[in-house]
Amino acid sequence: MSEEFLREMRERIIVELLDVLILGSLNESASPMGGYDVISLVRKRFGVLLSSGTVYGLIYAMEREGLIRGMLERRKRVYKLTEKGKEIIQSVQQRKNEIIRLIKMLL
């Protein structure tokens, strides 16, 4: 029972912070990423399989907010960070210890 709860909690955390994961991954990546790349990354790194609807819905919202910009690359839609997206992820990275403290307070 506790393993199931931990799995569900891991998935909830990943889904809730998926925008941060996408911004961070795009910031570290030398090349743009597509939605399938995000799904694969989450599966490999965390062992969680996200639905394409979850990922693409968030990607489209992030694009509307001006955090990422989509483009066609070899008939595939891929995304890269905008200046606004870079500012956001740099701000999050600078406040990493504060975020960790907040998570510890929850536990």
CA 10/CA 28 separation, integer angstroms:
23
pLDDT in tens, 46-100: 999 999 999 999 999 999 999 999 999 999 999 999 999 999 999 999 999 999 9
Domain boundaries, the chain: 2-106
Scanning 1-107, the segments in alpha helix (DSSP H) are 2-16, 18-28, 35-46, 52-64, 83-94, 96-106
Q: Which residues contact 38 (CB under 8 A, 6 or more apart)?
A: 18, 21, 22, 25, 50, 55, 59
pTM exceeds 0.85: yes
- For residue 73, the SS3 value is strand
Task: Give 2-106's CATH code, choosing from 2.40.110.10, 3.40.47.10, 1.10.10.10, 3.30.70.360.
Answer: 1.10.10.10
